[in-house]
Amino acid sequence: MTTAAPREAAAGIAAPAVRGRSPGRIAYERLRRDPAALLGLAIVTVFVVTALAAPLLTGLNGWRPETFDKTAIDQALGGVPKGDFGGIGAEHWLGVEPGNGRDVFSRIVYGARVSLLIAVAATAVTVLAGTAVGLVAGYLGGRVDTVLSRIMDLVMSFPSLIFMLALLSIAPGTDRVLLLVLIMSMFSWPYVGRIVRGQTLSVRHREFVDAARVNGAMGPHILLREILPNIAAPILVYTTLAIPANIGTEAALSFLGVGVRPPTPSWGQMIDNGLLWYQVAPAYFMIPCVCLFLTVLAFTLLGDALRDALDPKGGGR
Amino acid sequence: MTRYLLRRLAAVAGVLLVICAVTFAVFYVLPSDPAAHACGKTCTPEQVTLVRAQMGLDRPVYEQFGGYVTGIFTGRVLGDGPTALECSVPCFGYSYQNALPVWDLLTDRLPVSVSLALGAAALWLAGGLAVGLVAALRRGTALDRSLMAATLASASAPVYFTAMMLLLILVQRLEWLPYPDYRPISEGPAAWAGNLLLPWMTLASLYAAMYARLTRASMIETMAEPYIRTARAKGLYERTVVTKHGLRSALTPIVTIFGMDLGGLLAGAVITEHVFGLPGVGQLTYDAIFKADQPVVLGVTLLAAFFITLANLGVDLVYAVIDPRVRYA
């Protein structure tokens, strides 16, 4: 094999030039050729665009998410949607909600807004807080590290679902979205903190950090400009995988009745409501479930692909 | 080893004390009138006053908290005079809405949650490890890819969705299983397992998927280690190489996750119990939260934290057995 290249060169066959590629470039090229990543990205894009364009889309079908349509449900049968599959048809694209006839498509579209907003915001708070604590703990070490690590262990020992349920049930219901974001991040930041702390420990004594210090760089500069860029890959992967987890948590909390309150639509709330009507109108239960499933699946596909693409030991493409 | 164990047990106690303090503050100090919540919606003002006195809410906070913590170890009498309530060891407070000590409620519901958690854990461990192992050993084949696609789908489905699908297929269409209706194991293991099989499968399908993916990744990494090549070069059977050299060390990360997952489930799988109407600690929590029955919520939180910290301790001890590189000072 080693002799092949010179021989080809001698025979005048152009050997492909070795190109220098940055790690980001390599990851991008790997992602572009990964069908799973592209599928995940496509689904995520569809849902994000849907959420952003919610007012436009409900303008197209002409139903606000809070509007009741008494003509679409059978009052005599206790509010069962008229027609097959939960009343799916030209008027109501995904059927109507049993009992009050609200348009399911409009509620799904607006529900996507709420679900994605909460999940993304909670992930952002989690990652920012976790990264800050992890960086400081890993970089300063010593007593600061011990205290911060103990706090992280402690928070991780809390039975988070029970505590989130309990906190949300006694909290005053002024701004549920903000409340959900804060309470969801309150129990997940130590997971990022631990990862970041470990990564920081492994790079803080590397030569480039010493070099920066010798050049007179101060703590903040070393942390943000030297260490952070070098541990960005695992944080990025964690972020992508935390979003589907948070979408699931938000849906679970709304499903259990402590999430966003009606009339604000949310997928978990629709699923909870759909469970009551499951026997007579299964479509109303299935549609938000499938949306939730697809979103979580898509973000997970994307996160997994990103992890593989950023792995320096990964395939040599 | 003994010193290590003692140190860890002390840490466990410390963690539980802090969690107890935080939970106590959230439910007994922050609300404007905890006694009114604890007493329930139908209480008369006189009853609320009585409850307030019995819960010791007229005393300073540190005294209330001290009384609560010592009550766990020594038991206590709530209130005085003819209306005093006897709360025997371990006293986790008294649920006025249920007219029972919290500990009695917990012990009444615990067998359901433990049955659910242990059965599901057995299923997901067996399923997850088997699928992950097969996928790792057949890495890159169509079998590997289809197994991993299936686990991804299974892990992305919300619990209630899986629950309803299994219910629809296995109970309503095929009629293979009865609708889950908890039977204690004393009524015969067959009735117990038959009724729990559906909830077990629901929980297990979620966790097995994660374990399969984890096992596959860990196994692939381990099988690339030089000592695996050495084992093969010694002429060992491939089966021995895979199980004794590969799987054993690939198990370490799985043990960690397993401890955390099992610890979290022992004190109740809230959603699964809620969907199937199982009378476990999870359902007790759900009901207590919506009735603002704070003594019960505090008790459940402590029980759950106890299981989680204990499971973490268990994990560290198991490490020493399966991973000879781990030593305790």
A147 touches chain B (CB under 8 A): no
Contact: A170, B27; criterion CB under 8 Å = yes
Report the pLDDT averaged over residues A191-197: 91
Q: Which of A75-89, A130-144, A299-313, B63-77 has the highest mean pLDDT?
A: A130-144
A153 touches chain B (CB under 8 A): yes
* Chain B residues close to A166, C-beta within 8 Å: 26-27, 289, 297, 301
Q: Look up residue A295 and give its two tokens.
A: 């979103």
pLDDT value, residue A135: 92
pLDDT value, residue A90: 64
Contact: A158, B289; criterion CB under 8 Å = no
pLDDT value, residue B329: 47
Crossing angle between the packed helical segments B294-322 and A160-170, to the nearest 10 degrees: 160
Question: Which of A157, A255, A270 to mutate to probe the B interface, most B CBs <10 Å?
Answer: A157
CB count in 10 Å sphere of residue A103: 27
Residue by residue, pLDDT tens for chain B (329 residues) are 788 888 888 888 888 899 888 888 887 777 767 777 777 777 788 788 888 777 777 778 788 888 888 888 887 777 766 667 777 778 888 888 887 888 988 998 999 999 999 999 999 999 999 999 999 989 888 998 899 889 988 888 888 888 888 888 888 778 787 787 788 887 878 888 888 888 999 999 989 998 998 899 889 888 888 999 999 999 999 888 988 888 888 888 888 889 888 988 888 788 899 888 889 999 999 888 888 888 888 889 889 988 988 888 888 888 777 766 666 54
Contact: B270, A256; criterion CB under 8 Å = yes
Of B63, B72, B57, B98, the C-alpha closest to B13 is B72
Q: Look up residue B329 and give its two tokens.
A: 């000072």
Assigned CATH topology for domain A38-310: MetI-like fold (1.10.3720)
Between strands B85-87 and B94-95, the pairing is: unpaired
pLDDT value, residue A1: 41
Q: Closest-CA residue in chain B for A253?
A: B271
Size of interface A-B (CB pairs under 8 A): 95
Contact: B305, A301; criterion CB under 8 Å = no
Report the pLDDT averaged over residues A270-289: 82
Task: Give CA–CA dist A178/A182, Å, rounded.
Answer: 6
B200: Cβ contacts below 8 Å, ≥ 6 apart: B116, B119, B120, B123
Q: Closest-CA residue in chain A for B288?
A: A166
Contact: A166, B290; criterion CB under 8 Å = no
A223 touches chain B (CB under 8 A): no
Q: Tell me the shortest Cα–Cα distance from B263 to chain A, in angstroms.
A: 9
Please report which confidence band the pLDDT of residue A3 belongs to, taking 50, 70 and 90 as the band edges: very low
Q: Closest-CA residue in chain A for B15?
A: A154
Q: What is the CA radius of gyration of chain B?
A: 24
The pLDDT tens digits of the residues spanning A138-179 come to 998 889 999 999 899 889 888 888 888 888 887 776 788 888
Residue type, B107: T
All domains of chain B, ordered by start, with CATH?
34-91 (no CATH), 103-328 (1.10.3720.10)
Q: Tell me the shortest Cα–Cα distance from B5 to chain A, in angstroms.
A: 18
* Chain B residues close to A270, C-beta within 8 Å: none
Alpha carbon separation from A243 to A40, A296, B156, B281 (Å, rounded) = 13, 8, 12, 29
pLDDT value, residue A83: 67
Contact: A275, B275; criterion CB under 8 Å = yes
Contact: A165, B152; criterion CB under 8 Å = no
A16: Cβ contacts below 8 Å, ≥ 6 apart: none
pLDDT value, residue A2: 45
Mark out chain B residues that contact chain A at CB-CB < 8 A: 15, 18-19, 22-23, 26-27, 30-31, 152-153, 155-161, 164, 264, 267-268, 270-271, 274-275, 285-286, 289-290, 292, 297, 300-301, 304-305, 308-309, 312
* Chain B residues close to A257, C-beta within 8 Å: 290
pLDDT over threshold 60, residue A5: no
* Chain B residues close to A163, C-beta within 8 Å: 23, 301
Contact: A162, B267; criterion CB under 8 Å = yes
Task: Give CA–CA dist A227/A222, Å, rounded.
Answer: 6
Q: Look up residue B37 and give its two tokens.
A: 């919540």
* Chain A residues close to B15, C-beta within 8 Å: 153-154, 157
Q: Tell me the shortest Cα–Cα distance from B186 to chain A, in angstroms.
A: 29
Stretch (H or E) spanning A195: helix A189-203
Alpha carbon separation from A315 to A31, A307, B74, B144, B215 (Å, rounded) = 12, 12, 62, 17, 20
Q: Tell me the shortest Cα–Cα distance from B236 to chain A, in angstroms.
A: 28
pLDDT value, residue B124: 93
A117 touches chain B (CB under 8 A): no
* Chain B residues close to A255, C-beta within 8 Å: 158, 160, 271
Please report which confidence band the pLDDT of residue A123 belongs to, taking 50, 70 and 90 as the band edges: very high
pLDDT over threshold 50, residue A317: no
Q: Tell me the shortest Cα–Cα distance from B151 to chain A, in angstroms.
A: 11
| Residue A36, CB-side half-sphere exposure with 13 Å CA sphere | 19
ipTM score of complex: 0.82
pLDDT value, residue B23: 85
Task: Give CA–CA dist A160/A248, Å, rounded.
Answer: 14
A160: Cβ contacts below 8 Å, ≥ 6 apart: A187, A188
pLDDT value, residue B173: 79
Question: Which of A149, A162, A285 to mutate to probe the B interface, most B CBs <10 Å?
Answer: A162
Of A226, A227, A221, A224, the C-alpha closest to A201 is A227
Residue type, A201: L
Report the pLDDT averaged over residues A246-251: 90
Report the pLDDT averaged over residues A263-279: 82
